[in-house]
Amino acid sequence: MTTTATTPDTRQSATSARHARHCRHWVSGTLAAWLLACAAGAAAQPLWFASGRPTPDAQQAITALAGAQADGLVPQDYDAEGLKHALAQAATGPQPAPDAVDKLDAALSDAMRRYLSDLHSGRVDPRKVHANFTPPPSAVFEPDSYLRAAVAGHRLPDAIREAAPSFPLYGTLRDALARYRTLAAQPGWDRPLPALPGGKLTNGQAYSGLAELARRLQVLGDMPADATVPKRYSGAVLGGVKAFQARHGLEADGVIGAGTLAQLNTTPAARVRQIELTMERLRWTPLTDGPRVIVVNIPEFMLRAYEYNAGKLDIKLEMKVIVGKALDTRTPLFKEDMRYIEFSPYWNVPPSIARSETIPRLRSDPGYFTRQGFEFVSTGKAVTTLSEANLDAVLNGSMRIRQRPGPMNALGDIKFVFPNNQNIYLHHTATPQLFKRDRRDFSHGCIRVEEPVALAQFVLKDMPDWTEARIRQAMTKGQSNTVALQQPLPVVLAYGTAIARADGRVYFLPDIYGQDKLLDQALRQKTARRPASVPASAPPAPDAFARPAPTQNPT
C-alpha cells in the first residue's frame, strides 16, 4: 500500500528544511553518526502539536479512535476517551509544558499505530485460532511510517480508510454492522417468541406469537413492512420465514422448528458480534494476493472463483462444496497455490482411513475390494489380490491401498492439487446427491466440488487448448493424467459466518467448527489485558501525561 506525502504546515516545513540542510553536512566524520543525528532531529518534531497546541490532524485522530467501533474495533483498546479529554485540555487549557506535549504526542501516536495495525492486520495472530495464514514479507504493514506519511500529507481520514481490508465484503459488512447496532438498540429482543404448538409451526396453524413474529420479520427485512398479518400462520408471514431461513443456512420450507426458532430468537446484539468476528478474519485472510483466486468459505459450504480487473472484483464462478465433518475431520484453514490438476486420478487411501474404515469393511465384506476397484501398492507395484497378509502389510506400513480411476473412485474423475502438508485438495465425488443437503460437512477433510468442469475451465483459462470437450474427455478416460498449471493459482480455505450482499441482505451461517467462539474468546482476552495510554479517570494535569509502556499482543 502506497501513500504520498505532501508539504506539512508552514512552521514544520521551515523547521524540516533547516534540519535537512543540516543533515547534508558531515557532522561527525562517520556516516552512522550523521544518520543518527538526522534521525534525532526528525524525531524531535511533535507529530500532533504545533506551537504547543493540538493540530487539526490530532483532532482527526481522536475522532478516528472514538469511532473505531464502526470497524468492529474497541475504542477502549486505544484509550480513546482518555486521549480525547487530554487533548481537549491541551487545546483549551493553560499552555502545556514541552515535556507534557511530548508525552501526550507519544501516547496519541502509540494509540494510532495500534489502531492502524489492528484495522489493517487484525488483533489476533490467526495461527493462535487455528487459521494458518501468514502474510508474505512484501505485504507486512508498517504502521509508524504509514501514520507519519498520512499526517505529513494531511490525509489521515483517507489513509485510515485505505488501511482497512480492500475485499468488497468488508465494506458491506461494515454497513451491516451499523444497521444491526441500530436494531440492537430497539426494545423487545430480550423476549423470546412463545413456544411452538406441538414443537413446530406449519402453514395454517394458529400461533400466539404471530404478531411478534411478523414484527421481527419486518424489522429484519424478510417481510414487507406494509404486509397484512393473517390470523393464522400463512401468507406474508410464511413467505417472510422462508426468506429468513434462506439467510440463516436453513432449509427454506417455511416450517418453524427448533432450529428456525433458535435463529429467530437470536438477538441483533449477537449478530453484531458475529459480524465483528467476520470482519476481524477478513483482516488476516489473504483474499487479494493475486489477480485470480479460489476461495472456499467453509461454514457457507460454498466455493467462489474471483478475478481482479482494474481494481474491481469479479465473481467468475460459485458452487456448492462438501467440507470436513465438524465432529472429527474438520477442513483446516490455510492458503496455498494450486499447481496441477489430475484427471481420472487414483485415490491413495490415507492410513488413518484404511485402519479405521477400509480394512474393517474389507474383512467383513471381501467383495467390497473388487466393487470399489481397490488394489494394494508396494514399491510402485500394484497387487490386485485381497489377502490377510496384504491387509496386515497395510497396517504395518509396508503396503498401501489405492482406488483405481473409475465411476466408484472417491475423488470422482478430477482432482485439483495445491500441495500442502495436510494432504487437502479439491475434487469431484462419486456421491453428488449430497450437494442437495443444506448442511454439507461430510468429508474426511478434503473439499468436494459440485461443478468440476466449470472449475477446471476457470483454472485452465490460460491454457486455451484445454476446451470443455477436452476436459470432459480427460475426466472420463479412466487413465490418470496430470496437467501442470502455467501459473500458480491461490486457493484460500476461509471461515466467515456473516455474509453481507451489496443489496443489503445479510446472511448468518452456523459456526460449525466453533471458530467464532474461539476467536471471540481470544479478542476478549486481548482487550482485557491492554493498558490505557493515559489515566482513564478525570482529565489529568498536563504534566501527568505519561507515555505507556510497550504493549504485548496476547491472544
| CA dist list (Å): 455 to 264, 413, 483, 487, 521 | 36, 13, 14, 16, 37
Average pLDDT, the chain: 87
Closest CA to 404 of 360, 369, 449, 374: 374
Examine the pLDDT at 537 and tell me if it is beyond 60: no
What pLDDT, on a 0 to 100 scale, did the predictor assign at position 38? Answer: 40
Closest CA to 441 of 496, 508, 513: 513
Chain position carrying cell 475504542: 75
Examine the pLDDT at 14 and tell me if it is beyond 50: no
pLDDT tens for 362-409 read: 999 999 999 999 999 988 789 999 999 999 999 999 999 999 998 888
Calpha distance 290→519 (Å, rounded): 27
Examine the pLDDT at 45 and tell me if it is beyond 70: yes
Q: Which domains does the chain have, with CATH numbers?
A: 46-164 (no CATH), 191-266 (1.10.101.10), 289-499 (2.40.440.10)
Residue 44 CB burial class (10 angstroms; 0-12, 13-18, ≥19): exposed
The shares of helix, strand and coil residues in the chain, as percent rounded to the nearest 5, are 45, 15, 40
Buried b (16+ CB within 10 A) or exposed e, 110-137: bbbbbbbbbbbbbbbbbeebebebeeee
| CA dist list (Å): 449 to 10, 345, 486 | 61, 15, 22
Chain position carrying cell 480427460: 474
pLDDT tens for 314-342 read: 999 999 999 999 998 999 999 999 999 99
> Which of 40-44, 279-283, 409-413, 513-517 shows the lowest per-residue confidence on average (mean pLDDT)?
40-44
Share of the chain above pLDDT 90, in %: 77
What pLDDT, on a 0 to 100 scale, did the predictor assign at position 28? Answer: 34
What pLDDT, on a 0 to 100 scale, did the predictor assign at position 533? Answer: 60
Are the C-beta atoms of residues 381 and 308 closer than 8 Å to each other?
Answer: no
Buried b (16+ CB within 10 A) or exposed e, 65-84: beebbebbbbbbbbbbbbbb
Calpha distance 237→231 (Å, rounded): 10
pLDDT tens for 500-514 read: 999 999 999 999 999
> Which of 25-34, 127-136, 256-265 shows the lowest per-residue confidence on average (mean pLDDT)?
25-34
- Tally the C-alpha atoms within 13 A of residue 203's C-alpha that lie toward its C-beta: 8
> What pTM was estimated for this model as a whole?
0.84
C-alpha grid cell for residue 243?
426468506
C-alpha grid cell for residue 475?
475426466
Q: Which residues pair with 270 in a beta bridge?
A: none
What pLDDT, on a 0 to 100 scale, did the predictor assign at position 11? Answer: 36
Concatenate the DSSP letters of all residues of 380-416 into one string: TEEE----HHHHHHHHTTS-EEEE-SSTT-TTTTEEE
Q: What are phi and psi of 342, to 5 degrees?
A: -110, 120
What pLDDT, on a 0 to 100 scale, did the predictor assign at position 542? Answer: 38
pLDDT tens for 50-107 read: 999 999 999 999 999 999 999 999 999 999 999 999 999 999 989 889 999 999 999 9
Angle, nearest 10°, between helix axes 168-184 and 268-284? Answer: 160
What pLDDT, on a 0 to 100 scale, did the predictor assign at position 532? Answer: 58
Chain position carrying cell 496476547: 554
Concatenate the DSSP letters of all residues of 448-476 into one string: EES-HHHHHHHHTTT-TT--HHHHHHHHH
Examine the pLDDT at 223 and tell me if it is beyond 60: yes
Are the C-beta atoms of residues 517 and 509 closer than 8 Å to each other?
Answer: no
Angle, nearest 10°, between helix axes 452-459 and 468-476? Answer: 120
Calpha distance 7→141 (Å, rounded): 24
**Please, what is the Cα angle at 132 between 249 and 341, to 5 degrees?**
80
What pLDDT, on a 0 to 100 scale, did the predictor assign at position 140? Answer: 82
Chain position carrying cell 493540530: 55
**Please, what is the Cα angle at 58 between 79 and 524, to 5 degrees?**
20
Closest CA to 188 of 268, 275, 258, 272: 268
Are the C-beta atoms of residues 60 and 512 closer than 8 Å to each other?
Answer: no
Are the C-beta atoms of residues 86 and 104 closer than 8 Å to each other?
Answer: yes
Are the C-beta atoms of residues 419 and 441 closer than 8 Å to each other?
Answer: no
The mean pLDDT value for 163-176 works out to 95
C-alpha grid cell for residue 448?
468436494
Examine the pLDDT at 192 and tell me if it is beyond 60: yes
What pLDDT, on a 0 to 100 scale, did the predictor assign at position 171? Answer: 96
Q: Which residue has the higher pLDDT, 537 or 485?
A: 485
What pLDDT, on a 0 to 100 scale, did the predictor assign at position 139? Answer: 72
Calpha distance 105→535 (Å, rounded): 15
Are the C-beta atoms of residues 323 and 298 closer than 8 Å to each other?
Answer: yes
Q: Which residues pair with 308 in a beta bridge?
A: 313
Closest CA to 525 of 113, 74, 65: 74
